[in-house]
A = this chain, B = another copy of it.
């Protein structure tokens, strides 16, 4: 409530002062950069990508004003490695966001994992800082929760959000709820201090994240400071949530409510850029971290449209992402570009937009998309998409052809417990419950004719295979895997001194504000 008041004030403040200063801002040589990263949102969740309920008017308008990229991919079908790839421009197999303790298992950073982003990696905000950019992450970090891994130790100047998923509520003792930070200060925890009602699905978090974003944009604009906002909201990750205003409003239930609130918020951000007069100087990119979590059932998960399976898998439903690029006056409005592209390109593209040379001391997987975005006619030819699942290269796309070297939905063991990564879908020899190797004779699909990966190719097979094989061979020959960072698990990590200490001391105190002031003094500054 206090935050909503603050939001209103800021909006009012902005509305009054915007017109007096925008004209005096010299044209910044480099654009501000906003990356809006959704959590478990699927390709098919947007009206513009075919969601039957058509409840994303702001995103659809964003596409109409910018460029739609129907062939945009993540680097891994799970959150942590996807986010590590986005911020490093490198495949998880290179940046270490994978595990070697199980074949083809996607790893992430739940509370018991001790690892995080390697100190040898260079993150986007670190590089942007060299050109004077101020960077903020709003929302979920997911690159490690121990102190050295947190955003402010890795190039971000500001952070409002959580290191991990808002799973829970957990019990207070063996498993504490996930903390929420403001910069390096822990404000409290999900469920306790930042409410998420599991019964009703009500939570104000998206509104808080919206305010944090608007406030940051306003402050940097006033300071005439180029900025990078990484808006990593998580309302569409189970348990999905929305604030009261949106609950019950969607045709799609609670998940749809969450989408509507995110869509609304994105509309507010774009409107804010216009109000501040910086829309022509701000590059905005919208996408998601991985496919919809179809294993979570219809109330808690989204849609991957016509694509097979979802999150965790290397079928199209797991890794094809909704994607919109928006930069009025620079990106041609209403354009559609079929370039094969991925989240790692956002690293390289952002650097190019900022006039920074990408690091040349390491292999980068991200390409500069500016020729595609700004001319919308120059494809980056023959660029493959690699589909990794944990430590295994499962599949490769080149042009319209996708070859599967390994197939796997999920294990029989999980499946028999009722966990299904491909509910309602079963393509023989493709959605396999055992990890099935096809290296000697990869399954190939033509994704133009068969986006759902249902009909393995027969004709054209040899020609397609020989071209893909060359790409795979080159990739494997030159690949030097990074040191896996997510192999170690330690239950004691959940009681890391900073969070645990605060928790132990504060556990008996019921007042959020007392906790907050204590934290500010004793923990966050520690």
The interface of chain A, by Cβ under 8 A from chain B, is 44, 47, 49-54, 68, 70-71, 250-253, 255-256, 297-299, 303, 305-306, 308, 336, 338, 400, 423-427, 430, 446-455
Q: Is the CB of B52 within 8 A of A306?
A: yes
Q: Is the CB of A299 within 8 A of B449?
A: yes
Q: Is the CB of B446 within 8 A of A298?
A: yes
A52-B306, A297-B455, A299-B449 given; 8 more Cβ-contact pairs under 8 Å: A44-B306, A49-B50, A50-B51, A50-B306, A52-B451, A53-B338, A298-B449, A298-B450
Min Cβ gap A299→B in Å is 6
Which residues from B are CB-within-8-Å of A49?
A: 50
Q: Is the CB of B306 within 8 A of A303?
A: yes
A-B contacts, 16 of them at CB < 8 A, read: A44-B50, A44-B305, A49-B50, A52-B306, A53-B70, A53-B338, A54-B68, A251-B448, A253-B449, A298-B449, A298-B454, A298-B455, A303-B306, A423-B427, A425-B425, A425-B426
In the complex, what distance in Å separates the CA atom of A54 from the CA atom of B52? 16
Which residues from B are CB-within-8-Å of A423?
A: 427, 454-455
In the complex, what distance in Å separates the CA atom of A120 from the CA atom of B298? 46
Shortest 9 CB-CB contacts between residues of A and residues of B: A50-B50, A424-B454, A251-B448, A298-B450, A426-B426, A298-B449, A253-B449, A424-B427, A298-B455
Which residues from B are CB-within-8-Å of A400?
A: 251
In the complex, what distance in Å separates the CA atom of A427 from the CA atom of B68? 32
Copies of the chain in the assembly: 2
In the complex, what distance in Å separates the CA atom of A49 from the CA atom of B51? 7
**Which of these, B250, B253, B336, B426, contacts A54 with CB under 8 Å?**
B336
In the complex, what distance in Å separates the CA atom of A306 from the CA atom of B71? 18
In the complex, what distance in Å separates the CA atom of A427 from the CA atom of B452? 16
Q: Is the CB of B68 within 8 A of A451?
A: no
**Which of these, B52, B303, B426, B448, contacts A53 with CB under 8 Å?**
B448
Q: Is the CB of B68 within 8 A of A338?
A: no
Which residues from B are CB-within-8-Å of A450?
A: 298
**Which of these, B253, B430, B452, contacts A446 with CB under 8 Å?**
B253
Q: Is the CB of A255 within 8 A of B50?
A: no
In the complex, what distance in Å separates the CA atom of A448 from the CA atom of B251? 5
Min Cβ gap A429→B in Å is 11
Q: Which residue of B lies closest to A44 (CB)?
A: B306
Which residues from B are CB-within-8-Å of A252?
A: 448-449
Q: Which residue of B lies closest to A294 (CB)?
A: B454
In the complex, what distance in Å separates the CA atom of A299 from the CA atom of B446? 10
**Which of these, B305, B308, B426, B452, contacts A50 with CB under 8 Å?**
B305
Which residues from B are CB-within-8-Å of A336?
A: 47, 54
Known: A70-B52, A427-B424. A253 touches B298 (CB 8 A): no
Min Cβ gap A298→B in Å is 4
Which residues from B are CB-within-8-Å of A53?
A: 70, 338, 448
Which residues from B are CB-within-8-Å of A424?
A: 308, 425-427, 430, 452-454
In the complex, what distance in Å separates the CA atom of A299 from the CA atom of B455? 10
Q: Which residue of B lies closest to A452 (CB)?
A: B424
In the complex, what distance in Å separates the CA atom of A306 from the CA atom of B424? 12
Which residues from B are CB-within-8-Å of A446?
A: 253, 298
Q: Is the CB of A305 within 8 A of B308?
A: no
